Structure 1
């Protein structure tokens, strides 16, 4: 990411952080609408899952200025989710769910520039998850 993109993301950090619980709620609503079959994977402590989503979102926000942290986040997410065998479609849908949640919760509070940069960042994280997932599968073969 370019320096100005990072600054644009950071300018929205406080708004997003303040509403991270609501973002987690909306993310899962969108995820289950897009991929209803994954809802069965969340039969345990769903409150804890939402908390973990909010924590990972916070980690991503804080690490956005450091591309290595973002890569580490993608690798960590890929390892955490590897057991689910997520493919390109699932990671793309998860990215869409994150963007839809941001739109639901923050709507007009995000500028078009912020929306574009967030979309780019979310796509980047999803690509990292996909790449790491493939790398893990290759090392297991």
Structure 2
């Protein structure tokens, strides 16, 4: 990721932060719509889970300029996800859901450049997390 991409991501997330609760609801509603099988991995009451999602995103976005600062937490998160039943096939679905949520939340501020920046950032982080969770980077099923 370039410094320009990092700046775009951080600026766009600053616009999402004030609507973080709605963004988290959008995210999980969409995730459960496109991947209903993952619903069982989550608690019935999603209030705390939504807060955790937005807190994790805030930490990641804030740490993009110094990836080494967020990698230990990403590694631990990846391992916890395995214990919850997450597989490598879930990562692309979550990524697509995140991008969809950001596009809906940002409206006209969602540009092709911003989409590329977020896609690149998610690719870097999810690739790292999959390697931490499953060893050598697995190929997700197409």
The answer on whether the counterparts of 1:20 and 1:57 sit within 8 Å (CA) in structure 2 is no
- How many angstroms does 1:85 deviate by? 3.5
Q: For residue 42 of structure 2, what is the aligned residue in structure 1?
A: 42
Q: For residue 98 of structure 1, what is the aligned residue in structure 2?
A: 98
- How many angstroms does 1:11 deviate by? 2.4
Question: Could you say which structure has the higher helix fraction?
Answer: 1
Does the alignment pair 1:121 with 2:121?
A: yes
Provide the aligned length of Structure 1 versus Structure 2.
Answer: 136
CA distance in 2, matches of 1:114, 1:10: 10
CA distance in 2, matches of 1:38, 1:25: 15
CA distance in 2, matches of 1:39, 1:80: 16
Structure 1 stretches lacking a partner, 5+ long? 136-141
- How many angstroms does 1:130 deviate by? 1.1
CA distance in 1, matches of 2:6, 2:91: 23
Does the alignment pair 1:86 with 2:86?
A: yes
1:56-81: CA deviation from partner (whole Å, max 9, x where unpaired): 11111111111113433431320221
Relative to the length of structure 2, the TM-score reads 0.85
Higher alpha-carbon deviation: 73-82 or 87-96:
73-82
Structure 2 stretches lacking a partner, 5+ long? 136-142
Does the alignment pair 1:71 with 2:71?
A: yes
Q: For residue 140 of structure 2, what is the aligned residue in structure 1?
A: none
The answer on whether the counterparts of 1:74 and 1:129 sit within 8 Å (CA) in structure 2 is yes
CA distance in 2, matches of 1:114, 1:70: 21
CA distance in 2, matches of 1:73, 1:18: 24
1:27-71: CA deviation from partner (whole Å, max 9, x where unpaired): 111211221011122234311111111111111111111111343
CA distance in 2, matches of 1:11, 1:132: 29
